[in-house]
């Protein structure tokens, strides 16, 4: 029997961020502004404000603070390497980076990574006083290792503007913490990189109005559902318009008489302030035109995020950026599945191969993986084997319900093409599939393009295989 008592517990840290810096360079300037920006964002940050006397070694308390911090931000400045205190901090930070769940991020402030890595130019001059010290080799290794980590370089980011640079650091750290802490869903897997990709397209700081589209197959959960609400009744669309206006303007007394009236009110009233509007599961252009008809509706700096299964909706609206909601990789899928099946991020001993088979069936769909993990939790090995055999022939009800929304929106011949691809042509090359479908009287070129735009099938860019 699979034990469900094993749990993956996130290590508890006293601080979210530890700031390592050279006081004489940045204490009252860059680091002071960074610390307050992190603090205002609710990020618990350790900043040592003690002035270190010459010859004093790093304290045990400071070493503990490094161990008790989830992230370490190392601000490399011109005189950082002149301080043995800073270098001892750096050695401890690199030890944590290698051995536990800590992550270090270098900030290159008025120095370049190559200067830190090779101790040349101003960094070399600052380090020169330590060359004959006993700890020199250890310090050099730590400088090289830290300079090779992913971080932020002021000179090459936001054209060197410190305020925007600090804002970017805070946003990146906040995003990473949100996934570690599971503030939305403790079982989210593989989302950090995907969300960061979308956040980058928001171009925070730009005064343009941006529409960002996210297209993909059903299987990812969202809170609101434009398609379902707008089609649930004749008044559905105007109710959504009223909701947007009420939320943005903080005025619950707004009345929307018709969808046309709603469009006029939105065009007139939304331009008075910057807004963030998220429209989930938009099914057709009429819905999008009613809720975000034109960029001129919105005040400069506003952001509108749209999710849909149909790429054509985004293209027709001339959306600025379109992102694919990519499926989970094999390792991400295993992690998500194990979380639901075993209460930990990796399969328990003896169940790796069976887990691989289940994940292969799920084909990277998060919803399917969650359903399967929950279904198999606590079951015996024999029950797993039986379930895997059944999965080859029995579809999952919850997954089908998600797919049904996209499927029902197809024309009859497109439905036939989709069923032929799923049942017969999966794994075939696109050109061969087109020939077979056209021999049956279908307009295969257009049909396959529609299915791909609605994220019901994928066509490989490299070998043209249908999946």
Catalytic residue ranges: 89
Cα separation, 89 vs 57, in Å, equals 10
If you search the block for the tokens 């330590």, which residue do you land on?
130
Cα separation, 63 vs 65, in Å, equals 5
- The token pair at 116 is 């830190």
Cα separation, 146 vs 89, in Å, equals 12
- The token pair at 94 is 């690199």
Q: How many CB atoms are closer than 10 A to CB 179?
A: 19
Residues 331, 337, 340, 343, Cα dihedral to 10° = -40
Cα separation, 441 vs 449, in Å, equals 17
Nearest to 338 by CA among 384, 367, 373: 373
The three-point CA angle 444-433-416 to 5° equals 55
> Three-class SS string for the chain?
CCCCCCCCCCCCCCEEEEEECCHHHHCCCHHHHHHHHHHHCCCCEEECCCCCCCCCCCCHHHHHHHHCEEEEEEEECCCHHHCHHHHHHHHHHHHHHHHCCCEEEEEECCCCHHHHHHCCHHHHHHHHHHCCCCCHHHHHHHHHHHHCCCCEEHHHCHHHCHHHHHHHHHHHHHHHHHHHHCCCCCCCCCCHHHHHHHHHHCCCCCCCCEEEEEECCCCCCCCCCHHHHHHHCCCHHHHHHHHHHHHHHCCCCCCCCCHHHHHHHHHHHHHHCCCEEEECCCCCHHHHHHHHCCHHHCCCCCEEEEEECCHHHHHHCCCCEEEECCCCCHHHHHHHHHHHHHCCCCCCCCCHHHHHHHHHHHCCCHHHHHHHHHHHCCCCHHHHHHHHHHHCCCCCHHHHHHHHHHHHCCCHHHHHHHHHHHHHHCCCEHHHHHHHHHHCCCCHHHHHHHHHHCCCCCECCCCCEEC
């Amino acid at each position: 029997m699979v034990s469900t008592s094993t749990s993956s517990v996130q290590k508890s840290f006293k601080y979210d961020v530890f700031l390592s810096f050279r006081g004489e360079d940045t204490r009252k300037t860059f680091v002071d502004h960074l610390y307050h920006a992190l603090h205002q964002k609710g990020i618990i940050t350790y900043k040592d404000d003690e002035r270190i006397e010459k010859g004093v070694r790093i304290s045990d308390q400071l070493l503990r603070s490094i161990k008790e911090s989830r992230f370490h931000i190392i601000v490399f400045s011109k005189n950082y390497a002149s301080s043995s205190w800073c270098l001892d901090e750096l050695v401890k930070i690199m030890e944590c980076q290698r051995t536990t769940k800590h992550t270090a991020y270098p900030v290159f402030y008025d120095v370049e990574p190559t200067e830190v890595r090779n101790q040349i130019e101003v960094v070399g001059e600052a380090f020169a006083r330590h060359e004959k010290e006993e700890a020199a080799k250890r310090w050099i290794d730590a400088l090289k290792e830290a300079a090779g980590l992913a971080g932020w370089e002021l000179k090459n980011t936001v054209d060197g503007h410190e305020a925007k640079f600090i804002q970017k650091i805070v946003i990146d750290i906040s995003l990473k913490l949100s996934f570690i802490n599971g503030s939305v869903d403790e079982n989210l897997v593989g989302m950090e990189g995907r969300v960061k990709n979308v956040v980058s397209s928001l171009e925070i700081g730009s005064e343009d109005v941006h529409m960002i589209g996210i297209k993909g197959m059903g299987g990812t959960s969202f809170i609101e559902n434009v398609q379902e609400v707008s089609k649930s009744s004749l008044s559905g669309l105007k109710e959504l318009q009223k909701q947007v206006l009420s939320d943005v303007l903080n005025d619950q007394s707004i009345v929307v008489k018709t969808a046309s009236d709603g469009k006029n009110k939105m065009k007139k009233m939304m331009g008075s302030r910057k807004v963030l509007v998220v429209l989930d599961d938009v099914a057709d252009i009429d819905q999008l035109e009613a809720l975000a008809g034109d960029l001129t509706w919105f005040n400069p700096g506003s952001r509108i995020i749209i999710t849909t299964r149909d790429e054509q909706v985004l293209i027709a609206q001339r959306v600025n950026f379109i992102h694919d909601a990519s499926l989970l990789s094999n390792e991400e899928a295993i992690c998500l599945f194990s979380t639901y099946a075993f209460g930990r991020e990796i399969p328990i001993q003896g169940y790796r191969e069976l887990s691989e088979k289940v994940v292969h069936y799920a084909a990277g769909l998060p919803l399917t993986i969650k359903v399967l993990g929950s279904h198999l939790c606590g079951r015996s090995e024999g029950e797993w084997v039986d379930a895997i055999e059944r999965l080859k022939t029995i579809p999952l009800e919850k997954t089908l319900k998600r797919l049904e929304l996209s499927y029902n929106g197809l024309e009859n011949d497109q439905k036939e093409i989709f069923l032929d691809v799923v049942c017969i042509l999966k794994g075939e090359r696109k050109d061969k599939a087109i020939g077979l479908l056209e021999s049956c009287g279908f307009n295969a070129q257009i049909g396959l393009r529609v299915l791909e735009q609605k994220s019901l099938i994928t066509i490989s860019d490299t070998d043209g295989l249908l999946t």
